[in-house]
Amino acid sequence: MPLSLGQQALWFFQHMSPRSSAYHVPLAFRLTGPLRVDLLHAALDTVVRRHETLRTAFRQESDGEPYQVVLEPGAFDLPVHDLSTAAEAVEKTVADIVRTPFVLADGTPLRAAVLRTGLDEHVFVLVAHHIVSDGWSLRLMTDEISAAYRALGRGAVPEVELPALDVQYIDYALWQRDGLAMPEQEEALAYWERALAGVPTLDLADGRSRPRRPTYAADRLLAEVDPGVVAALHEHAKSTGTSLFSLLAAAFTLAVHERTARTDIAFGTMLAGRVEPELEPLVGYFVNTVVLRVDLSDAPSPHVLAGRLGAAMLGAIDHEAPFGSVVERLNPPRLPGRNPIYQVTMQLRTGGSAPGVLELPGITAHEIDVYQGQHAFDLTLTFIDSTAGLRISVEYSTEVFDRVWASDLAAQLVRILQALPEGTHD
């Protein structure tokens, strides 16, 4: 069976960089309470049986083209590491689990492990390759693992308590391929051809040298936005009819303009890609990249800039096309180890798009911040809006930038966000 266009791009990346963890999607929890590892194992088995993509192998035809094959359900491997007398080894063990490369041809694009750290103390690690998962999928998996664990604990059949799946991911891949010949697809591609004609690549490296062979080594810095500023941003968005995304994108664009003096700025962002209700309960790689381009040559006010970015986003939604098809149509110059069209992405993660939490009876679960240590882009800026406040995640290539640069960018964004609601940013 063919891959979806998004999967195909990730497969080619992994094929060229087989040791890379840049497209690993990790999640880890510290669990306190009487964990039933046997139930957790059975719950994972249930989820992997339900979602074919979690037991899919990605292989090559004789001509080099990738294809996917769904394997029959088997016993999911859940190793248990007893680190109750080796607390100092927990962090390294988690990092090893998160960063060990997947062998996609084996049909094991998901791994998990339990670390026993003390009496009724455990760490649960779950890692998927992006080719079978996205942020929405992580939330689905944690929800379904939780529901199956609870059902098994009551002696119930877990599948009965989970929503029926009318389709599987392979159906989506075939549907997407069939849709490439539709007139609507041609209209969408024509839109992107106009919107991105002559688009310059946003390069924030500012003359810094790049290695000839990228290793995709990366790091991440987190910054908090003052609660008062967050409240003011939400109120400003509400009173002006502007989305929070547009305000944050305006702040990011202003920061880029301050640093580069560019007036034609384009960056990538993500759409959920689940355009049909049948796709919402599926684990899989559905996210699609769109490129937002904005003109600052007339020195627009922050409010006007936010409006332009909002309009660009609406245009992107109305004319959504697989990013691979857009790249094929534009045929931009390719540089080894670099993404076509954009190297910088910005996104907003809200409570609805954030990874879920485990809800297991008698267990208190706290998410642990884990990072895979590699990234495929120069920079990904993620605004995380939750009940805990607004955080800025600056994920940057350490082959291009250093932590001082990332810290300066975060401080610059905080300053711009403080000024936006009052309209005092120049």
CB atoms within 10 A of CB 44: 23
Give the model confidence (pLDDT) of 119-162 as tens digits.
999 999 999 999 999 989 999 999 999 999 999 999 999 988 89
pLDDT single digits (tens) 75-117: 899 999 999 989 889 999 999 999 999 999 999 999 999 999 9
Counting the structural domains of the chain, the total is 2
Clarify whether residues 168 and 186 are in a common domain: no
What is the arithmetic mean of pLDDT over 242-258? 96
Q: Is the pLDDT of residue 426 over 60?
A: no
Same-domain status, 257 and 218: yes
The yes-or-no verdict on residue 53 having pLDDT over 80 is yes
CATH number for the domain harbouring residue 260: 3.30.559.30
Asked which of 149, 172, 195 is the last residue of a domain, the reply is 172
Residue 387: predicted pLDDT? 81
Edge-to-edge strand order for the sheet containing 288-295?
A: 218-225, 389-397, 379-386, 344-349, 264-271, 288-295
Question: pLDDT exceeding 90 applies to what percent of the chain?
Answer: 80
- Judge contact between 358 and 364, C-beta under 8 A: no
Residues 160 and 51 placed together within one structural domain of the fold: yes
What distance in Å separates the CA atoms of residue 398 and residue 215, rounded to the nearest whole number?
A: 10
Does 107 share its domain with 140? yes
261 and 374 both lie in a single domain:
yes
Cα 153 from Cα 330, distance rounded (Å): 54
On whether both 166 and 203 belong to a single domain, the answer is no
Q: Give the other-Cβ count within 10 Å of 160's Cβ.
A: 8
Domain final position from 154, 172, 190 = 172
Say whether both 402 and 280 belong to one domain.
yes
Q: Which tokens belong to 410?
A: 């975060």
Same domain for 265 and 331?
yes
Q: Decide if 108 is inside a domain.
A: yes
Residue 358 lies in a domain: no
338, 199: one domain: yes
Q: How far apart are CA 372 and CA 376, in angstroms?
A: 12
Cross-strand bridge partners of residue 291 = 268
Of 172, 204, 228, the residue that ends a domain is 172
Distance from the Cα of residue 423 to its chain's centroid: 32
**Is 363 within a domain?**
no
Say if residue 86 is in the same domain as residue 212. no
Domain range for 25 is: 5-172
Residue 397 CA to chain centroid, in angstroms?
16
In a domain, 272, yes or no: yes
- What is the pLDDT, as a whole number, of residue 336? 65
**Three-class DSSP category at 129:** strand
Does 163 share its domain with 294? Answer: no
